[in-house]
Structures are given as structure tokens and as C-alpha cells.
């Protein structure tokens, strides 16, 4: 079979990749990698060039084969692709565990460090140090029986994470809400009503059909006048993949959570850690569970008094006690009342083509990088576009795909993923390529997609991740781009980019009325800027609630304390009593769809968003001091943060840029909480 997944010298052949290609390609590359590793570890006196460079090449090749499979499973999820992915996952997990526990390879890496350490450059030393750390964290030093048990746990956790994610997607897919009385759509913007009418026609239904995708959920919660409609959509959203709600028990993730938590705890204990949280911190900026919890407690104590005042104002405005499904609606209404601006009313000023033009113009002003669309690149959906990044002399430095719109076969949320990891090895060179994925409402007819300002912020966030991946100057794939970066610092470039959407210097670049082309009027611009700190303490407290729940869940797990499901509810209730201000519905089953920590990379790491937000606010303050477009400051940020990847400790990289350690005060000033 001529397998397009094995064509590694160009961009992935998305137009030709099918589910049936996945397993054969993966089996082939894994077999070839194993054979090559046996040859490499048989060397009597390995060197960096004879051992480490070839291993980096093997990892790069595996990434090239697997990346399109994982990506298509997320953005083009069909029964065939899901089955292929699930067939491949145990093969990949087994190989990864086997590689991490390869004692011969560990010994060879140690030999290189001991015999060549003084002559290696900092990047090469970092590759070796990270690898030796990761060998230990993979259980390479465990006795045979415990080593095998660790591998079994990792295999099972990978399967459970995939199933968790599938259940969330399937629960959302299974729900639709038919509206036959147009009055129930009062308050919804015209584009959302048009979309619902089109979806109903496509489904052969009369009236309007609301799906449970993220844009629909957010639009209904913030705009629908009907409390009944808000409650129905809210209940469907917060009970996804749980034992209650519209699809009660059908896609229930609670049994998976009850299996995931003990397995994570057991894996950590096998390696000598007290908890999974301690295990997770072994590769992070934060050095102890106490440090993380004190960080969260400190932020909560600073925010809670302001959040209490904000929520009291909200209920006073509403004139009654609020239910959970009322909060977003009245928040939007109070914001409109106070600032006379709403997210939906802003949509005409943020057509996606204009936002992209402005984003690309900003990138050029900051870093001297031009962004140019490349027509004809193979894509997985007609709405996807491919772009090249060109340096000042016109030479390509990277590329990215943009998949902007929500679809049934696509998981919710927004993310950046690696398509090609950059490398500059004696064995070959490759430019980094990113995949940027959002879930905006698709346009109807010939009109462009219109974004809320919140969605513009999401796009800038993911592009920040993309720049971190694409502007790397690191030669070795294992520490290039986002690889090897401390997980609690990986959100720094993305949250840093969000700051630009609030600047008066930048907003004219990214906004123009879809019909007239008129810029955002000065008075609207001023009111929009005023919303930045609106209810910021409530929003911050919500993130602290999620982060504290996640961290305590993994730091305090006790396998003999009773059923894991009961423990999850107990911890969440305790955190909410201490931290939360806004109400929670009794049927809320948030953990069952909390894919970040049960199916993503954020287990015992959700605190990273707030941790990195402190870094990002502090970093952006340097631009506020020097000028938002200051090329010297941007050059230092690129050189210190974006270009370094995982080749430099995250704290050292920050200090290199800022000249000191991070300070929480810029974030408190930025959000208005300090006041």
C-alpha cells in the first residue's frame, strides 16, 4: 500500500490520508525505530553525534507519522478514524513506555554526558539532562515487576483518556434542542438564529435547531432572554458525559474518573512520589505542592472580596437571586448597561478576514515576520487554510494551518498542535508547522464569519502558542518549540498575545465594520476597553476554583478513603465552599467533562493558566513601558522566550527577558483587582 502517512518530506497529504493508513504506517515506523535503537545502543563508546542525534531523528519521524492521525481524530472524527486511532494508541503507548524504560539507552546517554559534557553546547546538555530525567520518570530504575506494572498503568491511562474525550464529544453530539416558537429565540443575534434555521433545514426539521457546540452554548447563555432556554442548554452542557442530564448514563465518564485517579496515584507511588501532583511537578517551574497551593490561596484571598462585591452588584442589577444559568446572561446585560457595549453588537466590527489581516500585520511589526496564504495546500476540510511565515528577506521560517469553524465531527474548544516539529540536525532540516484550531460559528452564505471580541482573544491566544512553536531557533526536536518547556510556563506566549487585543494601537488593525469598513468608533472603543476589568475578580476566582480542585484532587488522593467518585464530589464541594462566589446548580457535573485534566495534559496542572498569566502580564508590562510595537522589546521577547523552546529553564528565560523574577502585581493592576 502506498501510504501517504510515510511521505515525510513535505506537508501531510491530508487530501489522501484515510483511517486505513494509520495502523500500517505506525507499525512500520515503530518496527524500524526499534531495530535502529538496538543498533544504536550496541555501540561500545557512543557519542552525541552517533547516538543522541539519531535518536532525535527517530522521535521526529514518529511524530511526523502520528501527528496527522491524532489531529484528524480531533477535527474529523468519524467512526473509521476513531477505530483507527484506538487501534494505534496501545501500540504508541507501549513503544513510549518501552523507550522510557530502555536501560541500555539510559546508560548510553549517561556515558555521553560523562565523557563529552564539557565540550557540549547548552542545547546539547539540555537534551541529555531532560532525557535522563525522563528515563527516571518513566520508571527505568524500577525492578522488573514494578516496571511492567508502570507500563500497564500508562497503557490503561492512555486508553481511558481517549475514551473520556470521546464520551464528551458524543454527549455533545447527541443533544439538540428544537425551537418551534420564535419568541423563545428572543435576544439571540441574527447570525445565531440563521445558523439554527439552517441546521434545522439540514436535519429535515421545522423551526430552529440548536446544537451543543461551544459557540451556541456561549451565545445562548449570554444572549437568550428565555430563562427556560438558558436552563435547558446549561443543563445539557454541565451534565455532558455524566450520570444525569439529557443523555444520563449513556456516555458516563464517572467510572473512568474512578479508574484514572487511583492509577495515576499508583504510578506516582511506584516512582517514589507521595502523590501524582508531586510527580507532575518534577518537570515544572513550581517546585512543590505547597508552593502551588499557596500561590492559588494567595490569589484567591486577593480576589474574593472584590468578587463578592461584583456578584452582589450583579444580583442587585437583576433584582433577584440568580441561578447558575442566569449569571452569564445578567453579566452581559450589566456590562451592556454599564458600558453600553455587548459581545454580539461587536461582531460586525470583527469579520474574520480583517482580524487575520491585523494579526498578521502585528506579527510583522513585532518580529519582522510576514504571513502569506499558500493556496492549494492539502487540507482536511474546505474551510481550512494554510499560511507560510516568511522572514524579512522572504525566506520561509515556518507554516501553519488554520481551522476556524465549529463542526459536528470536531471536538470543542480551541488549541494549537504540532504538525511538524522544527529541527536542524546533521541528518536533515525541517521548518516547524503548527495546526491552529478554533470553534467559531461558521458563516452562512457569502458573508464572512463575524467574531465576538472574546473570540478574537481566543484566536490571538492560539496564535501565541503557534508563534512559540514556529519561531523556535532550537536544533533538536525534543526541546524545540513547546517541547521541553515547563508546563506551567507553556501558556506564557499565548496569554501574552491576548494583551494586544485590548490596546488602542492594535484594535484599529483588527476591526472594521463588515458592511461599511468603518473602524470601531472611538466611543465604542473606549467602552470596550472599560469592559476589560469588568467582573475580573469573579472570572479569576472561577479559574482558581478549577485549578484548586484539580490540584487538591491529585495532591490529596487517598486510595483507602472510599470511592473515588465520592471523593471527587467531596473535594469539589470543599473548594467551592472556600473559593466560589457564584452559584452552582445541584445537577452540575463539571468533572465529567473536564477534559483538560482527565484527557489532556493538565492533570495537576490547571493552575498553569493563572501561573502563566502572572508571567504574561509581567512580560507585557515591558511593552507598555517601552511602546506596544517597540521592536527592541519584541526582539528580546522573541530571543528570550519564543526562540528558546525548552533549551533554557523557564525561570531563567523569563529573567533573561525581564531582568528579574516574575511579580504578581502587573496582573492585579491589569485586571483592576489591585484597585
Residues taking part in catalysis: 462
Quick one: cell of 100? 522510557
Distance CA 415, CA 599 (A): 14
d(C-alpha 515, C-alpha 450), whole Å: 11
- Which position has the grid cell 512543590? 288
3-class DSSP state of 458: helix
Residue 4 CA to residue 286 CA, distance in Å, equals: 42
Distance CA 16, CA 563 (A): 47
Q: How far apart are CA 601 and CA 596, in angstroms?
A: 6
Provide CB contacts within 8 A for 320, sequence distance 6+: none
Coil, strand or helix at 372: strand
Bridge pairing between strands 415-420 and 428-430: unpaired
Instruction: Calculate the CA dihedral of residues 96, 100, 103, 108 and round it to 10 degrees.
Output: 100
Task: State phi, psi for 100 to the nearest 5 degrees.
Answer: -65, -25
DSSP state of 450: B
Residue 80: strand, helix, or coil: helix
DSSP 351: B
User: CA 6: distance to chain centroid?
Assistant: 27
Q: Are strands 370-373 and 208-211 parallel, antiparallel or unpaired?
A: unpaired
Q: Can you tell me the distance from the alpha carbon of 281 to that of 608, in angstroms, rounded to the nearest whole number?
A: 11
- Report in angstroms the alpha-carbon separations of 199 from 159, 186, 194, 439: 33, 18, 9, 16
CA pair distance 652, 598, nearest whole angstrom: 31
CA atoms within 13 A on the CB side of 88: 26
d(CA 146, CA 97): 13
Give the largest CA-CA distance in the chain: 79
Rounded to the nearest 5°, which phi and psi values hold at 452? -75, 165
- Cα–Cα dist 299/320, whole Å: 29
Nearest to 353 by CA among 221, 511, 499: 511
**CA atoms in the 13 A half-sphere facing the CB of 511:** 26
Taking the C-alpha atoms of residue 288 and residue 283, their distance in angstroms, rounded to an integer, is 11
Contacting residues for 440 by C-beta, under 8 A, at least 6 apart: 215, 352, 404, 405, 406, 449, 451, 455
Q: Please, are residues 119 and 47 in contact by the beta-carbon 8 Å criterion?
A: no
Question: Among 285, 268, 271, which Cα is nearest to 607's?
Answer: 285
Report the relative pairing of strands 415-420 and 423-425 from DSSP bridges: unpaired
Amino acid at each position: 500500500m502506498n501510504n501517504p502517512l510515510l511521505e515525510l518530506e513535505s506537508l501531510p497529504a491530508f487530501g489522501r490520508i484515510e483511517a486505513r493508513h494509520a495502523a500500517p504506517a505506525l507499525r512500520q515506523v515503530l518496527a524500524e525505530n526499534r531495530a535502529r535503537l538496538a543498533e544504536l545502543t550496541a555501540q561500545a563508546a557512543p557519542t552525541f553525534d552517533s547516538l543522541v542525534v539519531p535518536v532525535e531523528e527517530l522521535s521526529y519521524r514518529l511524530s511526523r507519522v502520528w501527528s496527522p492521525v491524532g489531529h484528524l481524530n480531533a477535527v474529523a472524527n468519524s467512526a473509521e478514524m476513531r477505530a483507527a486511532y484506538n487501534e494505534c494508541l496501545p501500540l504508541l503507548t507501549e513503544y513510549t513506555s518501552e523507550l522510557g524504560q530502555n536501560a541500555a539507552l539510559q546508560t548510553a546517554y549517561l556515558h555521553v554526558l560523562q565523557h563529552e559534557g564539557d565540550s557540549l553546547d547548552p542545547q546539547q546538555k539540555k537534551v541529555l539532562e531532560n532525557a535522563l530525567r525522563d528515563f527516571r520518570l518513566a520508571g527505568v530504575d524500577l525492578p522488573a515487576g514494578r516496571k511492567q506494572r508502570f507500563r500497564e498503568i500508562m497503557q490503561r491511562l492512555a486508553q481511558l483518556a481517549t475514551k473520556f474525550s470521546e464520551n464528551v464529544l458524543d454527549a455533545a453530539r447527541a443533544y439538540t434542542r428544537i425551537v418551534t416558537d420564535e419568541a423563545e429565540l428572543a435576544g439571540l443575534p441574527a447570525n445565531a438564529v440563521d445558523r439554527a434555521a439552517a441546521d434545522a433545514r439540514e436535519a429535515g426539521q421545522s423551526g430552529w435547531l440548536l446544537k451543543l457546540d461551544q459557540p451556541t452554548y456561549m451565545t445562548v447563555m449570554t444572549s437568550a432572554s428565555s430563562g427556560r432556554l438558558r436552563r435547558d442548554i446549561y443543563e445539557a452542557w454541565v451534565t455532558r458525559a455524566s450520570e444525569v442530564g439529557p443523555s444520563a448514563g449513556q456516555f458516563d465518564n464517572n467510572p473512568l474518573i474512578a479508574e484514572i485517579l487511583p492509577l495515576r496515584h499508583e504510578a506516582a507511588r511506584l516512582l517514589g512520589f507521595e502523590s501524582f501532583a508531586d510527580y507532575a511537578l518534577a518537570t515544572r517551574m513550581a517546585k512543590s505542592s505547597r508552593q502551588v497551593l499557596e500561590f492559588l490561596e494567595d490569589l484567591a484571598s486577593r480576589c474574593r472580596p472584590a468578587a463578592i462585591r461584583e456578584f452582589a452588584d450583579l444580583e442587585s442589577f437583576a433584582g433577584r437571586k440568580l441561578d447558575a444559568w442566569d449569571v452569564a446572561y445578567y453579566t452581559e446585560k450589566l456590562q451592556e448597561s454599564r458600558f453600553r457595549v455587548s459581545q454580539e453588537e461587536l461582531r460586525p466590527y470583527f469579520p474574520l478576514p480583517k482580524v487575520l489581516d491585523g494579526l498578521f500585520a502585528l506579527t510583522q511589526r513585532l518580529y519582522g515576520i510576514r504571513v502569506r496564504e499558500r493556496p492549494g495546500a492539502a487540507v482536511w476540510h474546505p474551510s481550512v487554510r494554510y499560511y507560510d511565515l516568511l522572514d524579512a528577506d522572504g525566506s520561509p521560517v515556518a507554516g501553519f494551518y488554520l481551522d476556524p469553524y465549529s463542526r459536528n465531527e470536531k471536538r470543542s474548544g480551541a488549541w494549537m498542535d504540532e504538525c511538524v516539529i522544527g529541527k536542524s540536525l546533521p541528518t536533515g532540516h525541517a521548518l516547524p508547522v503548527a495546526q491552529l484550531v478554533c470553534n467559531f460559528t461558521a458563516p452562512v452564505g457569502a458573508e464572512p464569519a463575524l467574531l465576538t471580541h472574546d473570540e478574537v482573544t481566543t484566536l490571538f491566544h492560539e496564535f501565541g502558542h503557534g508563534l512559540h512553536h514556529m519561531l523556535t531557533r532550537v536544533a533538536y526536536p525534543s526541546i524545540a518549540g513547546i517541547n521541553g518547556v515547563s508546563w506551567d510556563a507553556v501558556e506564557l506566549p499565548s496569554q501574552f498575545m491576548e494583551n494586544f487585543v485590548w490596546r488602542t494601537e492594535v484594535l484599529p488593525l483588527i476591526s472594521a465594520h463588515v458592511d461599511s469598513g468603518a473602524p470601531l468608533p472611538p466611543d465604542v472603543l473606549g467602552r470596550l476597553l472599560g469592559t476589560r476589568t469588568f467582573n475580573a475578580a469573579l472570572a479569576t476566582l472561577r479559574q482558581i476554583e478549577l485549578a484548586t480542585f484539580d490540584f487538591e484532587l491529585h495532591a490529596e488522593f487517598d486510595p483507602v478513603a472510599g470511592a473515588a467518585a465520592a471523593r471527587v464530589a467531596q473535594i469539589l464541594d470543599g473548594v467551592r465552599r472556600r473559593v466560589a462566589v457564584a452559584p452552582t446548580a445541584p445537577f452540575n457535573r463539571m468533572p465529567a467533562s473536564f477534559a483538560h485534566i482527565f484527557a489532556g495534559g493538565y492533570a495537576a496542572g490547571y493552575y498553569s493558566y493563572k501561573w502563566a498569566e502572572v508571567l504574561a502580564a509581567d512580560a507585557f508590562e515591558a511593552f507598555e513601558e517601552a511602546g506596544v510595537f517597540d521592536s527592541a522589546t519584541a526582539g528580546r521577547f522573541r530571543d528570550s522566550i519564543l526562540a528558546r523552546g525548552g533549551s533554557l529553564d523557564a525561570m531563567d528565560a523569563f529573567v533573561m527577558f525581564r531582568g528579574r523574577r516574575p511579580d504578581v502585581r502587573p496582573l492585579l493592576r491589569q485586571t483592576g483587582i489591585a484597585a
